[in-house]
Structure 1
């Protein structure tokens, strides 16, 4: 039995528009997550309910409004243009949104059709469930469906819908929307809502901001440790919960390059791999500006508020660097990584970048010595190894095996699964989900999924599907 308790729907009406999903002509389940369904109490849901054709008892469908900086340019009103928040489910592991992505037009669709096609739906399902299995804070997928409709992009595709689960869908851009309108009451209500829902340990606005900054430092460091490129880090795509959200033109690095970029719409590399920490910092600066008026009231003046928020914002780089050392130190089997270990880590990454060494297989290959095979300049790698051996912990093999996945959602494998699904074969997508749900262990039958793409399989660009 699904236990809905829709706290966001109890906020003032200017936070959203109540709207039901558009009907899907012939919904069909493609992927289903039984473990997540059990947690949410949705085990009895079928494709008709997941598509939003039947609204379950207790749900209050709505589309959230927000704004955002998109590739640095200000958009004063965005919002759920192709998604509907069905409602919130209270569980013994917390509160979760159930969100239907691809649910049709809303007042925020901006001339779009509000629909999704099956390709991006499968990509988000596969990648988000891998991220969860790899212990990265993330939205998750309950179901992927075909809707029975045709969606026109560069050509007609089978329509798709993702049932997405999140701790919430509140974004930096949600705060920006109300701040840009001078609606201080709404910002205050939103602040109280976020603090109660995500950071009850925060005693005030400044502490809430500190918690959000810490959460983003942890999140981005984990992205970097997996070679993950989000691709579209606009402020409307940064969740204040600290979860990875909006898997659009995302991808994982094969041959390592710090400038790795896959998004078809990021022409200038704003959101390339190496840029992600600084972009998170930039986004957090925009969030901090939203807190000035209420912190001014709490601290008794504008300048004290600005100074306090600036101090918290400036804590992001050292917090991120600490998290980055911890993540990459663990990837090398170093138990207590400190500043002195940074050159060791950076030198390995430099060699990897120089030779285009496979990111995932190099780190995993430290276990069995196969890492060396990914380098062209093996003498340079051999010279690095003794320095590493001098720093690794006694249980270094156990550490490496726990944090370096044996398999990731390779871009070409996702593309293969999408193309197979377009031809009516969902087995490749099902296999990826099965294998990637346990990414640190691998059977011999699935070793082919560890192989980098051949030259003719390389995926140079990914797309969000709007």
Structure 2
């Protein structure tokens, strides 16, 4: 099966015309594919070898479409940094078509496809830097088991694009079951288009959550589903130190996916109040504020649903968010700490561990990996302390390890079994800033090899590899400044 064999059923294009504008992609010159994701190909029921490079390049250049595609730019709105913006929509990306696969529908969305009626003052282009960042983020998040959009491929073209500097142009072929956003519902609420909202939500239910159609109120049931899935996703972000950086409501998925990677980053030296977004001076979207922002965004969605669902019922559903978040986070953290059973004090144990890491600005990810080797004796305590760059006699470390050792003794599995379980959820490879910048620089210089190699590591992040000259695992130097990124990242 090849790209041309994909079958498209473009349900979004069957909605009323106000939901979108039909737009042909802009044709970019000298486009070639830098890397193709086997994970992305599998989502489309394709083997990577069956995808003809020239055909894919023509598609990503905006020069040719696949049979059955109908490119559109979606209209939505949203709250950006807490302020409603009515002028949003797909400003540089197009939904090319909705492919029907064995797993269900998959959107093929071309980012960097050129200007649309919703571009405002933007040029509709994407740069290689941001395209690689989103491409690798999808790979990393999927491998960690975090709900996310992904991508089939990333391509560079012959255009030169002005951002903070002049950069190579690029396109990303993004994949997702749907790009339906909180912002779509907000737009219809602001337009007082109740029937349009009903039609959109019924389509989401029919296409993606068909079991909810049997509920007494399917739209209320969909809202409950959005709450539960959002809680799961945010809990996974927190457990793996992911900072989205721009949690506007238009960047929130009705399917609970991580959507629109801009100034994101993973924690390295742990700073709970950090955000990589340099425009977020007040830290609205900092790591430790993400759960609260998610709830705020769900409250905005609830308000938008009031024409269709009783407000009291929506408030009752919102009360489910925090317990769902806490349960999902506890489950993730128990696994990362090597705890097979649940105890009442586990939340305190996890919080104290993170406080210890934050106090010493220890590396978030290698700390969990190193903890797997702890055996409860003085020698393994010294080894762990050295790895964390913490004094072995640090009172907080000694006290925490004693509490941890006592907690482990409540379980029956061996230290070796625990370490294997921890190694299966604590990655060797995380998408660190310095290797990411090195990969981008190499790609901009015409060498896609490091991009491919890093993508391969991120796709199997729990398996250590000894080969290769690149250092994908070292934390930044202790005196390195925190990562700061722009919204064009």
Q: TM-score range by the shorter chain?
A: over 0.9
Q: Do structure 1's residue 33 and structure 2's residue 37 form an aligned pair?
A: yes
Q: Give CA deviations for 1:339-380 in whole Å, capped at 9, x if unaligned.
A: 321111111111111000110000011122454321424332
SS at match of 2:371: coil
Tell me the equivalent position of 2:458.
436
Tell me the equivalent position of 1:250.
264
Match of 1:23 among 21, 27, 32: 27
| 1:12-411 correspondence runs (5 A) | 12-40=16-44, 43-44=51-52, 45-202=55-212, 203=215, 204-295=218-309, 305-369=310-374, 370-373=383-386, 374-379=388-393, 380-392=396-408, 393=411, 394=413, 395-411=417-433
Report the Cα distance in structure 1 between the residues aligned to 2:73 and 2:107, rounded to whole angstroms: 12
Report the Cα distance in structure 1 between the residues aligned to 2:221 and 2:178, rounded to whole angstroms: 19
Report the Cα distance in structure 1 between the residues aligned to 2:475 and 2:466, rounded to whole angstroms: 16
Tell me the equivalent position of 1:450.
473
Question: Is residue 158–residue 422 contact of structure 1 (8 Å, CA) maintained in 2?
Answer: yes
Match of 1:419 among 418, 435, 441: 441
Report the Cα distance in structure 1 between the residues aligned to 2:40 and 2:24, rounded to whole angstroms: 24
SS at match of 1:246: coil
SS at match of 1:165: strand
Q: 1:421 to 1:262 in 2, by over 3 A?
A: same
Q: 1:319 to 1:306 in 2, by over 3 A?
A: same
Report the Cα distance in structure 1 between the residues aligned to 2:34 and 2:163, rounded to whole angstroms: 21
Give the C-alpha shift of residue 200 in structure 1. 2.0
Report the Cα distance in structure 2 between the residues aligned to 1:396 and 1:435, rounded to whole angstroms: 24
Report the Cα distance in structure 2 between the residues aligned to 1:116 and 1:21, rounded to whole angstroms: 13
Give the C-alpha shift of residue 50 in structure 1. 2.4
Question: Is residue 51–residue 100 contact of structure 1 (8 Å, CA) maintained in 2?
Answer: no
SS at match of 1:293: coil
Q: 1:57 to 1:261 in 2, by over 3 A?
A: same
Note the residue ranges of structure 1 that are not aligned, 5 or more in a row.
296-304
The aligned length equals 457
Question: Is residue 172–residue 239 contact of structure 1 (8 Å, CA) maintained in 2?
Answer: yes
Report the Cα distance in structure 2 between the residues aligned to 1:367 and 1:62, rounded to whole angstroms: 49
Tell me the equivalent position of 1:2.
6
Give the C-alpha shift of residue 139 in structure 1. 0.4
SS at match of 1:30: strand
SS at match of 2:25: coil
SS at match of 2:160: strand
Report the Cα distance in structure 1 between the residues aligned to 2:320 and 2:331, rounded to whole angstroms: 17
Tell me the equivalent position of 1:463.
486
Q: 1:454 to 1:426 in 2, by over 3 A?
A: farther
Q: 1:196 to 1:338 in 2, by over 3 A?
A: farther
Give the C-alpha shift of residue 265 in structure 1. 1.6
Report the Cα distance in structure 2 between the residues aligned to 1:49 and 1:172, rounded to whole angstroms: 29
- Name the TM-score, length of structure 1 as normaliser: 0.95
Report the Cα distance in structure 2 between the residues aligned to 1:100 and 1:371, rounded to whole angstroms: 45
Q: 1:347 to 1:41 in 2, by over 3 A?
A: closer
Give the C-alpha shift of residue 199 in structure 1. 2.0
Question: Is residue 28–residue 148 contact of structure 1 (8 Å, CA) maintained in 2?
Answer: no
Report the Cα distance in structure 1 between the residues aligned to 2:11 and 2:488, rounded to whole angstroms: 30
Give the C-alpha shift of residue 336 in structure 1. 2.7
- Name the TM-score, length of structure 2 as normaliser: 0.90
Q: 1:389 to 1:28 in 2, by over 3 A?
A: same
User: Which deviates more, 214-223 or 254-263?
Assistant: 254-263
Report the Cα distance in structure 1 between the residues aligned to 2:463 and 2:82, rounded to whole angstroms: 40
User: Which deviates more, 83-92 or 5-14?
Assistant: 5-14
